């Protein structure tokens, strides 16, 4: 019983939770800065970068994916600036044009290249492969202390654990500076806070979270977790610290409840077809946001 739980449930569930929390943490500041679309954009533009990195290297390991996604993000920034200057359109419109174009290019690359053998195709790009991230070498809780068994642990779990910890440490160490620059950028500049540098670092953290989560859960849950838990949390409180805490709670509830419903919901309803865990997690996050919009105490004070 212990081995089966660790193999089939615990590992994918922890990966889902870490993905949700890693995206929700920076999502709070993006939301308050009215830059929530950045998370959406990054989760789209990483796709062509990851595909090109695979086509060049032939592997889907972490570093080629990170470098490919980073290169794609740089190209996207240059394209957005070019569209803004040459087309004289607002930043939001330029961003929407560029990230949808790059995402479509990534989908076309997936369709035209032979990537299905390594679990890199359109379906996995959207929904990820959370259900398949099973720790086959686990023989029970004792495997957590067995180096040989730990060698077979899905690499997404330690990768996401490191990314989530790094994001948490960044927010904790620069909490005051982030808070001041988020709510009053002009005042932050007068007291010596490097607002542009902080904003750039926040975007970089967002990109790292998106890339780390993309391999496991796909783009759907990444987009949902950047927006839904922070937006629902914003409706619960006017205090930044409490908002971040609420968003983490909503992210964890979305991941756990979504994973359970994806696994057992069809059985309860007598359906034969399986349900995507990432899609269900994103759906639960949307439902939580909907409930917050209807019943949260601050719903009438947020714009």
- Is 292 domain-assigned? no
- Is 298 domain-assigned? no
- pLDDT band at 6; cut points 50, 70, 90: very low
- Is 299 domain-assigned? no
- Is 12 domain-assigned? yes
CB 214 within 8 A of CB 188: no
- Is 166 domain-assigned? yes
Say what angle helices 195-234 and 36-57 make with each other, to 10 degrees.
110
Residues 40 and 294: their CA atoms lie apart, in Å, by 24
CATH number at residue 20: 1.10.3470.10
Range of the domain at 161: 2-215
CB 13 within 8 A of CB 252: no
Tokens of 213: 């989560």
Task: Please write the tens of the pLDDT for every residue from 88-141.
Answer: 777 777 777 887 888 888 778 777 765 555 555 555 556 667 776 676 556 655
- Is 222 domain-assigned? no
Domain count, the chain: 1
Contacts of 69 (CB under 8 A, 6+ apart): 45, 46, 49, 50, 53, 207, 210, 211, 214
pTM for this predicted structure: 0.81
- pLDDT band at 248; cut points 50, 70, 90: very high
Say what angle helices 11-32 and 277-295 make with each other, to 10 degrees.
40
- Is 140 domain-assigned? yes
* Nearest Cα residue to 134 out of 1, 281, 218, 11: 11
């Amino acid at each position: 019983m212990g081995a089966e739980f660790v193999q089939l449930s615990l590992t994918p569930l922890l990966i889902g939770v870490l993905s949700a929390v890693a995206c929700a943490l920076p999502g709070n500041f993006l939301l308050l800065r009215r830059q929530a679309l950045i998370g959406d954009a990054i989760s789209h533009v990483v796709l062509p970068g990851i595909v090109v990195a695979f086509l060049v290297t032939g592997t889907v390991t972490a570093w080629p994916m990170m470098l490919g996604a980073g290169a794609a993000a740089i190209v996207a920034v240059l394209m957005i600036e070019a569209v803004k200057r040459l087309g004289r359109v607002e930043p939001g419109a330029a961003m929407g044009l560029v990230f949808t174009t790059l995402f479509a290019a990534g989908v076309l690359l997936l369709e035209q290249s032979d990537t299905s053998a390594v679990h890199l195709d359109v379906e996995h790009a959207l929904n990820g492969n959370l259900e398949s991230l099973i720790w086959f070498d686990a023989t029970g809780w004792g495997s957590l202390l067995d180096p040989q068994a730990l060698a077979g642990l899905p690499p997404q779990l330690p990768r996401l654990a490191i990314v989530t910890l790094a994001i948490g440490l960044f927010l904790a160490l620069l909490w005051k500076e982030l808070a001041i620059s988020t709510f009053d950028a002009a005042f932050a500049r007068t007291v010596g806070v490097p607002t542009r540098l902080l904003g750039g670092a926040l975007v970089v953290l967002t990109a790292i979270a998106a890339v780390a989560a993309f391999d496991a859960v796909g783009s759907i849950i990444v987009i949902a977790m950047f927006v839904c838990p922070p937006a629902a949390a914003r409706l619960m409180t006017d205090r930044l610290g409490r908002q971040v805490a609420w968003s983490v709670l909503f992210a964890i509830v979305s991941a756990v409840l979504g994973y359970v419903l994806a696994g057992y919901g069809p059985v309860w309803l007598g359906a034969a077809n399986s349900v995507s865990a990432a899609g269900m997690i994103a759906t639960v996050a949307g439902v939580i946001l909907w409930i917050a919009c209807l019943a949260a105490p601050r719903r009438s004070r947020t714009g």
